[in-house]
């Protein structure tokens, strides 16, 4: 049944995503706010599919911690789920992602059209500078920046080293850094076709006031908070 649910989800999600990507490409000359509206509609449709076709629901804690201003989000990266779900809580927002995704027909063009921050991972110095420069511009115009400090998806319980980009952006901009923990990898494993019905537990931590802090301290506090969260062994 999980296989059939996953196949049916992709049957609808892939055409929707391609259509949104191509539409955003044609809207490149229009205001960014208009392009964000297209993404909002796409996101709503995908969430409907996740709930009613895939059987994935969400339990949220810590909404009282979400700042009223734009912020830097430091989130665990376990699956594709969080790239969808976090948009509901930090909208408008952009992600820091690998530049190669921009080359994907439809999807990648759409990501480029909404001004995502695409970096070349192998060029660490220039990538870091790009995150800081572009990230500050987004924050100044009221757009939150979502970063997965581990750099790549990891299985639940296998937290990696936190890279400095997100913490440094918070330190340089003075924006609050919000740590986020979840157990989506139990429901939607990394690089997996089959996704399992169940409930993802998502928890937002108290924002870290980055004023006067070094990037290393921000990362240490974010990682310590995330590591202390017990979200249960199972996602369902």
Listed range (37-46, 81-90, 104-113, 194-203) with the worst mean pLDDT: 104-113
Instruction: Please give the Cα distance from 181 to 13 (Å, whole number).
Output: 26
pLDDT confidence bin for 232, thresholds 50/70/90: low
The answer on pLDDT for 106 being more than 90 is no
As a CATH number, domain 2-227 is 3.40.1130
Instruction: Report pTM.
Output: 0.91
**pLDDT per position as a tens digit, 184-199:** 999 999 888 999 999 9
Are the beta carbons of 183 and 231 closer than 8 angstroms? yes
The strand pair at 144-147 and 177-182 is best described as unpaired
Question: Residues 13-40: what's their mean pLDDT?
Answer: 94
The strand pair at 177-182 and 198-204 is best described as antiparallel
Report how far apart, in Å, the C-alpha atoms of 178 and of each of 6, 18, 47, 146 are: 31, 31, 23, 9
Instruction: Please give the Cα distance from 35 to 38 (Å, whole number).
Output: 5
Question: Residues 49-74: what's their mean pLDDT?
Answer: 96
**pLDDT per position as a tens digit, 140-169:** 999 999 999 998 888 888 888 999 999 999
- Check the CA dihedral 212-216-221-223 and report its sign: positive
**pLDDT per position as a tens digit, 107-120:** 899 999 999 999 88
Residues sharing a CB contact under 8 Å with residue 92, sequence separation 6 or more, in sequence order: 36, 142, 143, 144
Give the pLDDT confidence score for residue 236 in this predicted structure.
43
Are the beta carbons of 178 and 66 closer than 8 angstroms? yes
**Which is more confident, 190 or 138?**
138
Question: Residues 57-79: what's their mean pLDDT?
Answer: 96
Give the pLDDT confidence score for residue 235 in this predicted structure.
44
Q: Mean of the per-residue pLDDT values for the chain? A: 92
Give the pLDDT confidence score for residue 12 in this predicted structure.
96
pLDDT confidence bin for 124, thresholds 50/70/90: confident
């Amino acid at each position: 049944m999980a296989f059939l649910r996953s196949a049916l989800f992709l049957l609808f999600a892939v055409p929707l995503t391609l259509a949104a990507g191509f539409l955003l490409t044609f809207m490149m000359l229009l205001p960014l706010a208009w392009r964000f509206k297209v993404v909002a509609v796409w996101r709503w449709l995908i969430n409907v599919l996740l709930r009613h076709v895939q059987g994935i629901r969400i339990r949220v804690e810590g909404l009282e911690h979400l700042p009223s201003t734009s912020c830097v989000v430091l989130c665990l990266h376990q699956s594709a789920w969080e790239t969808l779900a976090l948009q509901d809580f930090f909208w408008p927002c952009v992600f820091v992602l690998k530049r190669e995704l921009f080359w994907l027909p439809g999807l990648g063009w759409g990501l480029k059209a909404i001004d995502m921050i695409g970096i070349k991972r192998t060029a660490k110095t220039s990538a870091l500078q790009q995150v800081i420069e572009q990230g500050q511009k987004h924050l100044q115009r009221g757009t939150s920046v979502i970063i997965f400090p581990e750099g790549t998806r990891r299985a639940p319980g296998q937290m990696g080293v936190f890279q400095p980009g997100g913490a440094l952006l918070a330190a340089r901009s003075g924006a609050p850094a919000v740590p986020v923990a979840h157990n989506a990898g139990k429901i939607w494993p990394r690089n997996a076709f089959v996704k399992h019905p169940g409930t993802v537990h998502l928890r937002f931590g108290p924002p870290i006031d980055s004023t006067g802090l070094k990037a290393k301290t921000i990362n240490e506090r974010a990682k310590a908070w995330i590591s202390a969260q017990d979200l249960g062994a199972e996602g369902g």
